[in-house]
A = this chain, B = another copy of it.
């Protein structure tokens, strides 16, 4: 896609090192909406004394993950926060699915999303999602498919939810440019995998995989067939070390966010399952890294559930954890989200995400509370998320000036 200027062209040459510490605390889907006209958003309804104190000490703004009016998925939302232009760097569907289940992709991998489907006697699709296929049935089937053998290629099959699985082909010379085999219709057979130039080997491998898999699945009543979608290589992303000179660690609970962090070269540290454990991990690794990405999932999942009150509670839970972070005295602390997930919409949305950046040199802006309305009037104004990292580096004294 034709995109704007790539900030990495500047950060690459301007970054410098010092002893500063940067914390990026991402409350997934943080931004919200009032349930009723004139009411507060989830964040405005929550009691957040610690976030409000940050708003008073820091500089606030509304983060636009991609562009005004665009609701992003988790992939582009996080890439933008990490400073990677989400229109320039695209994570293929298969690669995102693999990342989401914690499968660590290598440079010679092509990842694909698989769907079990039901085929009739003529080999035509009668059910694109294999009927009422439970997640528990998925795992043993994936194990069975793991028996597929293709010369010169390693094959990994992993269950996802319900009728979905991931297959990864690992081998030399595999390209990711292969069309979906899902015809998006019933009454027709699955399509053959068709390659664009450079990916012919992958299409052949996929064909062989499908052929062997059909034999393995032949005895199944519901899941006797499969379709493959979203062929994708591991995205080529420059690392945090290269573009920012930062040794970075990720403290996340869910595989998707660990995976996204790994793609930009962060180390995954600790094995925290709760926010309290996450701050413990932060403390434990404090001296070893320059940059910490902390991910809090539940502001998004409660929003997706349409549960305003539960999202308010999760925001308050996050607020309660803040003193454990500020006690470490990070040079720069950023609290933001990868996108908005208003309970009212039960989905990701395009609304700017309330954001606060705190440092000793951030130039405060008079904001008194952390919330959507006040953040708009903050010193960062409305800004694209990809500028947060250059701001963080500058506030940490880690950027030289551009030009003499």
Contact = CB atoms under 8 A, between A and B. Distances in A.
A41 B365 CA distance: 11
Nearest to A384: B68
B361 A366 contact: no
A222 interface: no
Interface stretch (A116-124, A201-209, A311-319, A373-381): A373-381
A159 interface: no
Contact of A403 (B90, B364, B401): B90
A70 interface: yes
Smallest CB-CB A-B distances: 6 pairs: A69-B390, A69-B391, A73-B403, A68-B387, A381-B382, A76-B403
Interface string A24-67: 00000000011001100100000000000000010000100011
A74 B363 contact: no
B3 A5 contact: yes
What's the number of copies of this chain in the assembled complex? 2
A226 interface: no
A335 interface: no
A32 to B, nearest CB: 9
Contacts of A298: none
Contacts of A392: 69
A62 B57 CA distance: 20
A251 interface: no
Most buried by B among A4, A41, A352, A402: A402
A6 interface: yes
Nearest to A339: B401
A399 to B, nearest CB: 7
A70 B382 contact: no
Contacts of A364: 34, 37-38
